[in-house]
Amino acid sequence: MRPYFKEEIVAVFEQDNKLYDLCVTAETDYDESKLKLVINLDRFLRLKDISVAETCCETTWLPKKSRVEYLVHRDEIAPTLDEVFGFWTEKVRASIPKIMVPSI
């Protein structure tokens, strides 16, 4: 089974005259024989400059990457991913320091 993948830009910041995207991602791995769903959650800053497609700028205020596991049937993968991704997005968004005002 192909893994599911989600990505969202939760904020855009300007710093030193450069724009940065704050991104969150979730990627699944599913073992159907064990009904085991693993969701790997990530977050990163990325220069908004389209010519530089790499992550950058590790910060202390972002939550650590996370990995969660669930026992679910195949038809529950997408709804479970949507729910977990929603919580992850909110957690990352809530970690933004008050002094950093997003551009969006």
pLDDT in tens, 64-103: 999 999 999 999 999 999 999 999 999 999 998 876 655 5
> Which has more confidence, 18 or 51?
18
57 contacts 84 by C-beta, under 8 angstroms: no
3-state secondary structure of 44: strand
Tens-place pLDDT, residues 47-63: 887 666 666 677 888 99
Segments forming the whole domain that contains residue 60: 5-94
Domain contains 90:
yes
pTM for the full predicted model: 0.86
Give the count of domains, the chain. 1
Domain contains 101:
no
